[in-house]
A = this chain, B = another copy of it.
């Protein structure tokens, strides 16, 4: 899909500029931070940054999974709906558990385990349909996106499924708690990101993910279990969605049919802004995290500064995203 880049001759000897291009997303991030701090005094306050980072963790964690899926040459459009469905089911499960076990941490633990199990199931469903069904990932996940969203709408009767208010108090720290000023969601995202980056670069499975995205034929001819690896990327995406959902649920304590709407677009955009190739074969987790932060920052800055008509927020977002990606691509092709 990165058409223009493919048209260009490969010029890998451009070592210096390449390294510059790797910094592209970071440059964009820094530029946004400077703009933010110029336009608003409150931008650099600890409170604002902490808010921003903590809420970015939700899509951030999803984007980590998306990086794997996309690096392996796949795509998952169902993440937002999946999150909504998992949120709904987990809340129902926790309420049920809470009514017999009382308001204990155990219930939260049950919730987490349940979420992970659901994530694995949903991810496996996507993966199996793509791999064994031989159906285009776009179509499969567009389909499951509709299915998941419908089921949560149906379960919630169009309204919301709420965590019982006593359990809400117990689960609250999952989002609002912090250690040494660093919120739990942020810690979770950082750990997951570091782990995922390490695995992607240094573990066998990570290299296979990259290899099948780079050239699925090679992978097959090299006795890599292509199908298994590809399914695993969707399963991992499901696990990431489950984790993100377990951060999301305690925040407001409810799941609605609009939960997670358009998260898939946000996650994919973040991954690509971060420098991962949409056609597969190259991925970097840290880039995706930077991409999520860029997207979060744009919203934040637009909220903090009353730039123009809020009607035009979308236009600013669009322009900034294009520029952010231009910063890296542009350089790559000097």
Contacts and interface: CB of A to CB of B under 8 A. Distances in A.
A131 B4 contact: yes
A40 to B, nearest CB: 21
A107 interface: no
Given A153-B314, A325-B139, A7 B226 contact: yes
A80 B104 CA distance: 48
Scoring A2, A139, A311, A333 by chain B CB atoms within 10 A of each residue's CB, the highest score goes to A139
B3 A131 contact: yes
Interface residues of A, number: 70
A135 B333 CA distance: 10
Interface string A195-239: 000000000000000001000110010000011001000000000
A321 B146 CA distance: 10
A144 B323 CA distance: 12
A4 B216 CA distance: 9
A151 B278 contact: no
Given A134-B5, A134-B330, A315 B216 contact: no
Nearest to A73: B3
A183 to B, nearest CB: 29
A278 B153 contact: no
Nearest to A266: B142
A137 B329 CA distance: 12
A143 to B, nearest CB: 4
The 10 nearest A-B residue pairs measured at CB:
A146-B318, A150-B314, A143-B318, A150-B315, A154-B311, A143-B322, A146-B314, A147-B318, A4-B134, A153-B311
18 contacts: A1-B136, A1-B138, A1-B280, A3-B137, A4-B227, A7-B217, A129-B322, A133-B322, A134-B326, A136-B272, A138-B272, A139-B272, A142-B321, A143-B321, A146-B314, A146-B315, A146-B321, A153-B314
Given A3-B73, A146-B321, 12 more contacts: A4-B135, A133-B322, A135-B322, A136-B272, A139-B321, A144-B318, A144-B322, A146-B315, A146-B317, A146-B318, A150-B315, A154-B311
Interface of A: 1-8, 72-75, 129-140, 142-147, 149-151, 153-154, 157-158, 212, 216-217, 220, 226-227, 230, 265, 268-269, 272-273, 278-280, 309, 311-319, 321-322, 325-326, 329-330, 332-333
